[in-house]
Structure 1
């Protein structure tokens, strides 16, 4: 909903309705990232996540700005993806133990939110189809799920390396292979691997729905960078899942395939928008459906 009495726009197209919760969220993220902060840090992370969501909604819908329409540049897309990763963590931590990752997630949320404040993107973006917002939300959800899979895959790779190193040097202490700067959840390798590829499957299914809906609602299909990279990312994830089912792919080969698919998806929207907004300084078009995620 757009407020009927918009406030004066701030620099870079921000309003107090998005700036105030963003600054409060950054402060809460900073507290959550502090080492040894105890219970206050644990409470600060969900508070930061909530304020982050409020700021994202206010920015997306242009609340408090004169120019209406959706606003979704490359940095807000990254910020929303990080917000979804934190949401996944909040749900997942209720079922499986994930100690030692709070500071990493706080840094991820705070860093992407700060980037969104610096590069908020242009306003006045209107959907060319009533189904376009669903396409955008599905694309964003697929980004968040694949990002969660990448995070778990990185933990899995690090845990496997630590295990191999301990097998070569039995006297080596565990903390030497897993410093605080790169924590690994205390989960069995098979459990961590299962979680990783559950997120891959979920992200792939949602991405497939987003792409199918994008094809359906796009009046004229354009083979732009977003469409090409989205389809390439989808193909890599499809190949990874097919190879895992047919040939039992696992370990480094599988995680490298996941990383490659995630990079292609990142280039699809975030990369193309970064080039247009930051390098070429081209404004957003007034109507967009988009063939990719």
Structure 2
């Protein structure tokens, strides 16, 4: 089985872009972790609002990386909670904000982590997947509401990317960031990944097509600047080129050529072995004839 790859200009009108994520943050509690998707058209969605195109799940992890319980963590969602996309969560519902703060405190005090997985459907334009920490602005505007509570300060954005892809998977597909590990030392860092996404059409030997995407990536990490929240940003941009991959069985001529190569190689090895054996036999006989 061999594959033929063709590059051409993408003229087709395609469906929405699906982002598949499976990422673990060992030092960021689920209540603290904020997930946003923003694009150049102005569309912004996050896990703190009723985002109909975000199907993201959060699982709480203990200090050892083991899952806590079987239920997933649900970020408080309300029409009264808005995430500005600049690491700031604004809530006008005091009761919900207080409950969220209690969750953040409890999980941070126990040094919990978070396993995030799921899918997001976004427009086919350049955009950014932004993963950072919540800074609950209602308590900064009204600090008297804090009482004995405190806003956890999380700076360690260590992460393990088990999978990051766009669209369905096809046999043999490789995603550069799958299995990628970044652990932060003493100094906090922010990470940026710049992805060039290439539309891909994979045709198997039966002619069935899988429309998906491949990507290349460039990584950029920088020490956290004073006054900024740590973040992991995935910037993606679509290529105007489409890659078409056809999986084809070998032709009869190709099969005959390979068969001839195998037969010819076997014949050559046989002749060479025969010569070596003949030379060895003659050498033995010659030595026996010289013996008294």
Shared fold by TM > 0.5?
no
Structure having the higher helix fraction is 1
Q: Specify which structure has the bigger relative contact order, considering alpha-carbon pairs within 8 angstroms and separated by 6 or more residues.
A: 2
Larger Rg: 2
